[in-house]
A and B are shown apart, each in its own frame.
Chain A
Amino acid sequence: MVFAFRREPDLWFLIGSPTVWALHFLACYVLAAVHCEKAGAGFVSIAPVRVWIVGLTAVALAFVFVSGLQAWRHWGFGANQPPHDADSPEDRRRFIGYAALLISALSFVAIAFTALPVLFITDCR
């Protein structure tokens, strides 16, 4: 739905990439929390969790990147500048594309932020 290269975007396109962020975030948190709770906390290593998170992050970033590309296409590759406030289907499409592009960029940053902790934290303490 979100990633199909459809010509006409609808409102779902706006929430595609943040949904990816949400799933990625939830997966990272649940993986780490369950791992540490089951291990009894303390100084138990989270190495397997870190590997998983790196993998998930790569997948999530790829998804967001593709949906950003899609949005960029709907926007018309920047051929027209905002505000996209004309009463026409084209401007409506450009607007959704532009907004979705911005949201994808934010989701990209947010996913990268989520993955940042695994660089610094190595155990369950």
Chain B
Amino acid sequence: MTAGHATPPAPDPTLRAEQERRLDKAWETPRGWRYWSAVNNTQVGLWYTGTAFIFFLFAGVLALLIRVQLAVPDNTLLSAQFYNQVFTLHGTVMMFLFAVPILEAVAILLMPAMYAARDLPFPRLSAFGFWSFFIGGVFVCGSIFFNAAPDTGWFMYPPLATDVKQSGIGADIWLLGLSFIEIASIAAAVELIVGVLKCRPPGMRINLMPLYGWYVLIVGGMILFAFPPLIAGDILFEAERLLNWPFFDAKRGGDPLLWQHLFWIFGHPEVYIIFLPSIALLAMIVPTFAQRPIVGYAWIVLAAVGTGFLSFGLWVHHMFATGLPSISLAFFSAASEAVAIPTAVQIFVFIATIMAGRLIFAVPMLFATGALAIFTFGGLTGVMVALAPFDWQAHDTYFIVAHLHYVLIGGMLFPLIAGVYYYFPVAADRMLSPRPGKIAFWLMFVGFNVAFLPMHFTGLRGMPRRVFTYPEGFGWEWLNLVSSVGAFVFAAGIAIIVIDVVRTALGAPMRERNPWNAGTLEWLLRRPQKPWQTRTVPPVSSRYPLWADPELARKTDEARYYLPDAEEGKRETLITTTLDGDPVQCLRLPGNSFKPMCAAIFIGGSFILTTFHFYRGSLVSGVIGVAIILWWLWTGTAIIPEKRTKDVGVGLKLPLYVSGSDSVGWWAMLITMLADMSAFFSLIFGYFFFWTIHEDFPPAGVDAPGVLWPGIAAILLIAAWAVMPLAKRLNARGSAAGLRAMLAVNALLSALGAAALLSAPYVTGLEPTQHAYPAIVWVLVLWAAAHAALGILMTLYCFARSFAGLLTREYDIDIHNVVLYWHFAAITAAVTVATIVLFPLASGG
């Protein structure tokens, strides 16, 4: 792929029509009740976006309830108990069910189009993610109608939230429902990272990627390191609630601060996980309305990468008032100031682009400018609260409420609405109307500022957050009343948008193809659009291919480029190299299926039944869920193609099956395991955290697990790992018998190893309910043993695949991926044993 692609000739019209018919058939969206078995990312992306938006409206109604209650002092409209449910659910739903998921949803919806790809590499994974999100979300939201919603704040601080009497079932619903959704988020991150890196059109080098892709890549990476600590925290939390393991109980050696650390290690990056993909939408919108390429492309990359990293050094600024030593606070204060630099760069990239271009003012641009104004203000108050002394005054007051809404609404909601107006033609073939858009903008902009600007002052006048009522006489009355009025004006703006969206989707005429005269590939889509996206996949040699070649749309339609056909009736997309976008594989994608949905239902059922303490049912549901996943993997992945290579057009022949680090599945495994590792290291962090707060750790009178059993476990598990590369090598030499023998050895060794590991704390009589030390040891041991068990499941899967003739010398995806898994399982086992055995020895315990 070098500059100046010679355009191949167009095939004749009859052939083209036939090709299109075959594409239609291969990519057909099912009708009737089978519609819900669709897995195509653009389809799933629509459901995902729509569902997240409905959760947004729901949480918005809760916000209005809050404002009604606070409109006047000493209001008794809502009871304290109900109000606490309302504000907890408002925060929870906005963050977990709207902000993060909708941005993943939008990315899933738009990424294939931006790359002119047929689809992303794991459509069924996206479908599974969506259904998990849907089930978990409905479960969490529905709880309020049974007066059973979580009511201890979206941050769930123990000991309040671990107290089963005070927090009731709501806390379990929060923990289990959201853990399930976090898994869906990680699934989407895997899909998006691999998609961004490997599904680009031929020739799209890394320096030509649309900026949106950069942001999605960074955000995907952030999710891998931000969400797992919360999942680890959820595990500890639920163990305390259900099993009485005292991780956060100060009386038994636990510490409530551990939860705060784990929660905010997730919580602060999360703000940027929300912010970056929204800014990414602006990075697509601004150049279009300035009608010129972005100025400072590399600066945006700087901003995204810089923010991505620095956002992990901010978490303690939510804990400035917890009494940590000043020196600890100071480091986080420093990082919190530093993160403002890439953010400022981001803003000025947009200003510079506008300056160097000729600005067209349309509704998306209106929202973009509004976003800039609001966000900049929120950023400036953010710089203030990043200083510990100021934060001690502002923390947990309405000043923070104002600050965070300026940041989130300016940094997330306004850009998102700009994106809705801008991308509605891509998503729904139609244009939203400019007049209602303008009215909605002004209502929202004015309403927002009227609602939230006064809150800065309410906060500085000493009004704390999360109060269901407040007394008269402190100068808070009229400020609150103004805020409440503003909230309703803001809501009116949202209502207009909702009406406009519904009306347009139902009845407006179809759009023109590229209504904003944009330069990027998503505007190649024809109208009405097809599930298979663009007619052919064009080669790319510019950041704005549609501006570089005005004829590109016609030539694409004439089927001159890649993948013009679906001869075999299979769904296919191109896989390219990371740096230069050289095509290396024609990837066969799985078709529509109910399996992801069923897997989500049963796995979700397992979580939901646990909430109600139906453990047996939960176990059964979980086993069925895992069985469905295995069935799905067996029938839908690593499928042996009918031929080795295929002509993908433009005279290019590509392999249909690749394995190892060339395959997308291997990358998905790697990325998933990175997330797994960060959850594991969060648990290890827990162990060392307890060590720092106790003078004696292990505490006096408690026997550490000793050396014998953990030592045996380590030897067995390391041996189990060591035979796996051997199994791979034997398979590569063509020895199926050797492969199977090694797999059997691995399964046996790891079963024994896991048993030895579990017996370690058992034989020394560690009682997890007594103290945080035995509890954290048990958690680590169980975690490592569960990984061994999962490893056995994978090994046996390979074993069966080998017998079924699906895992052979030439077709060996499965064994590569399982070996990769085992590397991580071995690290888990080794670090666990080192922590529970060597550390107490080394520190003289």
Contact B328 A106 (CB under 8 A): no
Enumerate chain B residues within 8 angstroms of A95, measured Cβ to Cβ.
Answer: 206-207, 297-298
A6 CB within 8 Å of chain B: no
A91 to B650, CA, bound (A): 25
Question: Which segment of B23-31, B332-340, B783-791 sits at the interface?
Answer: B332-340
Contact of B305 with A117 in the complex, beta carbons under 8 Å: no
Query: With A and B bound together, what is the CA distance between A12 and B76 in angstroms?
Result: 58
Q: Which of B308-316, B529-537, B718-726, B831-839 contacts A (4 or more CB under 8 A)?
A: B308-316
Q: Which of B208, B293, B308, B331 contacts A117 (CB 8 A)?
A: B331
Shortest distance between the CB of B429 and any CB in chain A (Å): 31
Q: CA–CA, A80 to B484, complex, Å?
A: 55
- When distances are taken between beta carbons in the complex, the residues of chain A under 8 Å from B206 are 11, 92, 95-96
Q: What's the minimum C-beta distance from A122 to chain B, rounded to whole angstroms? A: 9
CB distance from A21 to the nearest CB of B (A): 6
The answer to whether the Cβ of A69 comes within 8 Å of any Cβ in the partner chain is no
Q: Is the CB of A96 within 8 A of B207?
A: yes
A60 to chain B, nearest CB (A): 13
Report yes or no: B331 in contact with A25, Cβ–Cβ below 8 A. Answer: yes
Interface assignment of A2: CB less than 8 Å from any CB of chain B = no
Q: Are B2 and A87 in contact (CB under 8 A)?
A: yes
Report Cα–Cα, A44/B207, bound state, in Å. Answer: 52
Point out the residues of chain A lying under 8 angstroms from B299, CB to CB. Answer: 102
Asked if B334 and A33 sit within 8 Å, CB to CB, the answer is: no
B436 contacts the other chain (Cβ, under 8 Å)? no
Beta-carbon contact of B207 and A117 below 8 Å: no
Q: How far is the CB of B711 from chain A (nearest CB, A)?
A: 28
Given the interface pairs A32-B325, A124-B327, the reply to whether A110 lies near B310 with Cβ below 8 Å is: yes
- Interchain nearest-CB distance for B316 vs A (Å): 8
Bound complex: CA A10 to CA B578 (Å): 9
Residue on A nearest B334 in the bound complex, by CB = A113
Please determine whether B335 and A85 come into contact, CB atoms closer than 8 angstroms.
no
Is A99 touching B334 in the complex (CB atoms < 8 A)?
no
A58-115 interface (Cβ within 8 A of B): 82-89, 91-92, 94-96, 98-99, 102-103, 106-107, 109-110, 113-114
- Report if A113-B297 is in contact (Cβ < 8 Å); known contacts: A18-B309, A120-B330: no
Q: Which residues on A sit within 8 Å (CB–CB) of B540?
A: 87
Q: Mark A1-44, 1 if CB is under 8 A from B, else 0.
A: 00000000011001100110110010011001110111001000
Q: How many residues of A contact B (CB 8 A)?
A: 50
Q: Is the CB of A103 within 8 A of B207?
A: no
Task: Determine if B804 is an interface residue (Cβ-Cβ < 8 Å).
Answer: no
Question: Are B309 and A29 in touch, CB under 8 angstroms?
Answer: no
Task: Select from chain B the residue with minimum beta-carbon distance to A14.
Answer: B305
- Least Cβ distance of A15 to chain B in Å? 7
Pairwise interchain contact B2-A41, C-beta atoms closer than 8 A: no
Given A11-B578, A82-B297, A109-B341, A125 and B205 touching (CB < 8 A)? no
One of A83, A107, A125 near B326 (C-beta < 8 A): A125
A117:B334 contact, CB within 8 angstroms = yes
| Interface size range on B against A | 35 or more
- Write the chain B residue with the least CB distance to A122: B327
Let me know if A51 is at the binding interface, CB within 8 A: no
| Interchain nearest-CB distance for A80 vs B (Å) | 12
Q: In the bound complex, what is the Cα–Cα distance between A28 and B330 (angstroms)?
A: 11
Q: Are A87 and B208 in contact (CB under 8 A)?
A: yes
Is B579 interfacial (CB 8 A cutoff)?
Answer: yes
Chain A residues, Cβ within 8 Å of B207 = 84-85, 91-92, 94-96
* B580: chain A residues within 8 A (beta carbon): 89, 92
Residues of B contacting A28 in the complex (Cβ-Cβ under 8 angstroms): 331
Complex Cα–Cα for A33 and B396 (A): 24
Contact in complex: B541, A15 (CB < 8 Å): no
Interface: A46 (CB within 8 A): yes
* Interface pair B325/A106, CB less than 8 Å apart: no
Q: How far is the CA of A89 from the CA of B296 in the complex (A)?
A: 20
Given B208, B302, B308, B337, which contacts A85 in the complex, CB threshold below 8 Å? B208
Give min CB distance, A20 to chain B, whole Å. 10
C-alpha gap A104/B341 in the complex (Å): 13
Q: Select the residue from A85, A121, A125 with max chain B CB neighbours within 10 A.
A: A85
Taking CB atoms and an 8 Å cut-off, the chain B residues in 6-30 that contact chain A are none
Roughly how many angstroms separate A82 CA and B299 CA in the complex, as a whole number? 10
Q: Which residues does chain B contribute within 8 Å of A118, judged by CB atoms? A: 327
* Residues of B with C-beta under 8 A to A113: 334-335, 337-338
> Judging by beta carbons under 8 Å apart, are B325 and A36 in contact?
yes
A116 to B208, CA, bound (A): 38
Partner of B328, one of A32, A86, A92, A99: A32
Complex-state Cα separation, A82 to B305, whole angstroms = 18
Chain B positions within 8 Å of A82 at CB level: 296-298
Whether a CB of chain A sits under 8 angstroms from the CB of B630 is no
| CB atoms of B298 and A99 under 8 A apart | yes
State whether A84 touches B338 (Cβ < 8 A). Answer: no
Taking A91-B207, A113-B334, A117-B330 as given, write out 19 further A-B residue pairs in contact, using a Cβ cutoff of 8 Å, ordered by the A residue number: A10-B578, A10-B579, A11-B579, A15-B305, A18-B305, A18-B306, A29-B332, A32-B325, A41-B325, A86-B3, A89-B205, A95-B206, A102-B298, A106-B341, A110-B335, A113-B335, A113-B338, A117-B331, A121-B330
Q: Which 7 A-B pairs have the closest CB atoms?
A: A117-B330, A95-B207, A87-B541, A18-B309, A102-B302, A113-B334, A110-B338
Q: Can you list 24 pairs linking A and B with CB atoms under 8 Å apart?
A: A11-B578, A15-B309, A18-B305, A29-B331, A33-B324, A34-B692, A37-B693, A41-B325, A84-B297, A87-B540, A89-B205, A91-B205, A99-B302, A99-B305, A102-B301, A103-B305, A103-B306, A106-B306, A106-B341, A107-B309, A110-B310, A110-B338, A117-B334, A121-B327
